[in-house]
Copies of this chain bind each other. A is one copy, B any other.
């Protein structure tokens, strides 16, 4: 972090192309979106506290002063990340939970959905679960509420399954949910797009494992689907 270099070409960071080279960076116009994307990766890799605005600026080929034209301050970047994660997560899950289908199918789809986000938006998700302590005030409370609410949708699916007699009676939906979400969220610690399995395959495996377990009792295959 925080080296003395600026650009890859060592020049001042501006859009001028100094040689016959076509522009070395197909420069995306600076925007909140671009800042959030770059910051997500840096926050995920090095942590919010250890990432400076100079670092973010450098990643975008811009001085940190420019960032302040697009965001109010460093915390707002973090806020944007949290908002984006929830915006991407909430609605699809709600639709899955409200659809007319058996609880086991809902659970499968919910796991699929959650794994997909954890894999495709790994940096954002890492930040989401790692840096909540750096939020404060009403926004922190809002995020906490929405996160709890997201978890409760999972919980309700499990509860439905029990009530319908499909899931084991006597199990605690809250603990089950924590287990499932833990399984999925842990993706950000190990998943690499170059790995052997696609997010869909991993989700399928987790769903099978959640429904039938690992024991060989002839219930269902746990080999990869898709």
Contact = CB atoms under 8 A, between A and B. Distances in A.
Nearest to A131: B47
Interface stretch (A18-26, A88-96, A138-146, A218-226): A218-226
Contacts of A196: 172
A168 interface: yes
A68 interface: no
Interface in A174-226: 175-176, 178-187, 189-190, 196-197, 202, 205-206, 209-217, 219, 221-224
Nearest to A133: B46
Given A175-B205, A209-B179, A216 B167 contact: yes
Contacts of A50: 48-49, 133-134
B161 A175 contact: no
A45 interface: yes
Closest CB pairs A-B (n = 6): A182-B186, A49-B49, A170-B223, A213-B213, A171-B222, A49-B50
